[in-house]
Amino acid sequence: MPLAALGRTVLGLCAATGRLALFAGETVGHLIRPPFYPREFLVALLQIGWLSLPVVGLTSLFTGAALALQIYAGGARFSAEAVVPSIVAIGMVRELGPVLGGLMVAARVASSIAAEIGTMKVTEQIDALTTLSTNPMKYLTLPRVLAATLSVPVLVGIGDVIGIMGGWLVGVNRLDFNSVTYLKNTWAYLEPWDVGSGLIKGAAFGFIVALMGCYYGMNSGRGAQGVGRATKSAVVAASIAILACNYLLTEVFFSA
């Protein structure tokens, strides 16, 4: 019956959400309990943060440039072309910088983490860690989640700057804005909380990305097909969770 199928779907969704919440709680709980693995954390920090910088930077650059063109074209209908610098800056630091940065990191990092841990599970390396009295959650999950939570806000901040400079390049070279005036308007309308809210979003998105990658990797099915499904599910779940979390945080930060 359709009603029974709907009920099974809802119950399955609730059960999956509960398992994910327990996984997240266990991960956070290991943060204050030794032993710690600083080498694994530094490796994860390099792979998640530094190696994601080119893709986040390029995404932000072209997003800021396109945003300037669109706002200028829309503002020209109301003789409001002067709002381009302020809207580009606010749009980048509040929304586009954190969201696009989070989605690009999700595409790159969540898939990588899920594939890596899923392959370790298939080849029984995780069982070997347990045999050697090493907690897989503490050794594999915690360093990646912590590294992503700390590094993604930095990526978002750098992406914000690059995106604003992309808008400045288009504004000065394509739309005939005065360079000094453009930068003054950008600085005048940008408030500290605009930047701070974007960085908080970046930390939340980083936590989500690494958590989804680790969760689906740890629960990967057997064989290459199982690893492939885990990788796909990690990216999809991380992307949807980022968009949902973005709305909730925006509602909390900027609701009237």
Residue 142 lies in a domain: yes
Residue 128 lies in a domain: yes
Mean pLDDT of the chain: 89
Residue 235 lies in a domain: yes
Which two three-digit tokens encode residue 70?
């669109």
DSSP 107: I
Predicted confidence band of residue 13 (pLDDT cuts 50, 70, 90): confident
Residue 164 lies in a domain: yes
Tell me the CA end-to-end span of the chain in Å, nearest whole number.
Answer: 44
Quick: pLDDT tens for 29-63. Answer: 888 888 888 899 999 999 998 999 999 999 999 99
Residue 79 lies in a domain: yes
Lowest pLDDT segment from 86-95, 148-157, 223-232: 223-232
- Distance in angstroms (rounded) separating the CA atoms of residues 213 and 233: 9
Could you give the number of structural domains in the chain? 1
Which of 95-109, 120-134, 176-190 has maximum average pLDDT? 95-109
- Distance in angstroms (rounded) separating the CA atoms of residues 205 and 150: 10
Q: Which domain holds residue 95?
A: 37-254
pLDDT at 28: 86
φ, ψ for residue 7, nearest 5 deg: -65, -45
pLDDT at 256: 57
* b/e per residue 14-45 (b: at least 16 CB within 10 A): eeeeeebeebbeebeebeeeeeebeebbeebb
Whether the CB-CB separation of 202 and 151 falls below 8 Å is answered with no
- Distance in angstroms (rounded) separating the CA atoms of residues 111 and 108: 6
Residue 105 lies in a domain: yes
Residue 59 lies in a domain: yes
Beta strands in 54-194 (DSSP E): none
Quick: pLDDT tens for 213-249. Answer: 999 998 887 877 888 888 999 999 999 999 999 999 9
Tell me the average pLDDT across 147-157.
Answer: 94
Does the pLDDT value for residue 23 go beyond 70?
Answer: yes
Residue 201: CB partners within 8 Å, gap ≥ 6?
98, 99, 102, 156, 245, 246, 249
Tell me the average pLDDT across 69-74.
Answer: 88
Whether the CB-CB separation of 83 and 70 falls below 8 Å is answered with no
One DSSP character per residue, 126-145 reads HHHHHHTT--HIIIIIHHHH
Whether the CB-CB separation of 72 and 177 falls below 8 Å is answered with no
Residue 28 lies in a domain: no
